């Protein structure tokens, strides 16, 4: 079986991720295949694109980072940089695509999965949907254009979701701007068939219904209070001073994640508040990911979470309040000749 099924079905271009045993984790070949399909369908006689995935557990759990780890531990950082460069080009094309893109996001949609599934025009979630940007847990920053979505979330929600890696069910994903419509999952096959037959993306909204209750809207005032600090140390102190269950849970999360990645995430989200293009977000993200293996905590994060699975990472900084501003500045300074070149990436 191929990793991705790409075909035309009626009035729709169809992309189906086919690695259910690997939670549809995104490989480099999948990135290139999806991009090639999108390029071919710009002028094709279709009305829209439908993206879905096989299996019940995940739409896409993230990028397949095993090769990045293997090459990075050898001191070869070029493969990871190439993967991210090409993946970010795909993310931009999805966000800017001239035809409707309808995605069906069951189960886990995380990291790289957000980059494929959450930049379209009609993003459908169901009962099992769990959406998150968990990169800080492995020493990265929310990327694949996710930083722009965090920036556009209400209040300080972007800071909270970015540094804690919190998961969102259907209602919360819609509230935060990562999804558009809730449709019960038993209705998805019929809806997909109708969309493909007619090429009518408005059928998604017509099929939507209210999702089960979420939690983010309720705790938004707490998020705005605790996550308004100037830096990561301020946020940690705010959470320590609070006694409510939400603050305790958030404090536990930021104590677990990589301090440097969290500090940089805060800076990225705040720098992008005036952004007008996903390309600005991807440019900023690439500054960090380009350096992540050589200068950051990415290799150690993958070792602890995926390779050895000891969940005991030895981060470069001992605590959230011990990240010097100069370290953040060094990770996010312009890349000059190595920066993304959009003229050569179309």
What's 139's DSSP letter? T
What is the token pair recorded at 210? 């209210």
Residue 312's pLDDT is: 93
Q: What is the 3-state secondary structure (H, E, C) of 60-96?
A: ECCECCHHHHHHHHCCCCHHHHHHHHHHHHHHHHHHC
Average pLDDT along the chain, 346 residues, taken 10 residues at a time:
93 98 96 98 97 98 89 93 97 98 98 97 98 97 97 97 98 98 98 98 98 96 94 95 93 97 97 93 98 94 92 95 96 96 78
Q: Is the dihedral of CA 262, 266, 267, 273 positive or negative?
A: positive
Backbone phi and psi for residue 9, each to the nearest 5 degrees, phi listed first: -125, 100
Residue 346's pLDDT is: 65
Residue 276's pLDDT is: 85
What is the token pair recorded at 29? 């070949």
Residue 24's pLDDT is: 97
Polymer length of the chain? 346
Closest by CA position to 314, among listed 259, 249, 250, 240: 259
Residue 66's pLDDT is: 85
Cα 81 from chain centre: 17
Q: Is 106 helix (H, G, I), strand (E, B) or coil?
A: coil
């Amino acid at each position: 079986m191929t990793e991705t099924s790409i075909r035309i079905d009626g009035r729709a271009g169809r992309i189906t991720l086919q690695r259910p045993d690997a939670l549809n984790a995104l490989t480099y070949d999948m990135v290139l295949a999806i991009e090639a399909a999108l390029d071919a369908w710009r002028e094709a006689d279709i009305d829209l694109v439908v993206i879905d995935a096989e299996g019940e557990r995940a739409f896409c759990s993230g990028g397949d980072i095993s090769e990045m780890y293997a090459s990075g531990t050898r001191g070869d950082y070029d493969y990871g940089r190439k993967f991210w460069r090409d993946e970010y080009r795909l993310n931009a094309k999805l966000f800017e695509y001239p035809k409707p893109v309808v995605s069906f996001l069951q189960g886990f949609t995380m990291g790289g999965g957000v980059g494929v599934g959450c930049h379209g025009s009609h993003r459908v979630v169901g009962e099992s949907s769990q959406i998150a940007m968990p990169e800080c847990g492995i020493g990265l920053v929310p990327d694949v254009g996710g930083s722009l979505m965090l920036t556009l979330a209400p209040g300080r929600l972007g800071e909270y979701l970015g540094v804690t890696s919190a998961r969102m069910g259907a209602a919360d994903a819609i509230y935060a701007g990562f999804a558009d419509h809730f449709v019960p999952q038993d209705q998805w096959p019929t809806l997909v068939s109708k969309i493909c037959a007619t090429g009518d993306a408005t059928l998604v909204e017509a099929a939507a219904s209210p999702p089960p209750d979420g939690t983010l809207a309720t705790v938004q005032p707490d998020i705005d209070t605790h996550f308004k600090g100037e830096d990561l140390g301020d946020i940690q102190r705010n959470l320590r001073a609070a006694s409510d269950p939400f603050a305790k849970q958030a404090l536990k999360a930021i104590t677990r994640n990589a301090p440097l990645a969290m500090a940089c995430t805060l800076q990225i989200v705040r720098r992008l508040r005036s952004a007008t293009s996903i390309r600005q977000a991807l440019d900023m993200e690439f500054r960090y990911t380009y350096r992540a293996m050589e200068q950051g905590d990415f290799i150690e994060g993958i070792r602890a979470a995926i390779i050895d699975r000891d969940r005991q990472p030895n981060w470069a900084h001992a605590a959230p309040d011990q990240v010097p501003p100069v370290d953040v500045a060094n990770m996010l300074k312009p890349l000059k000749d190595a920066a993304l070149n959009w003229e050569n990436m179309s």
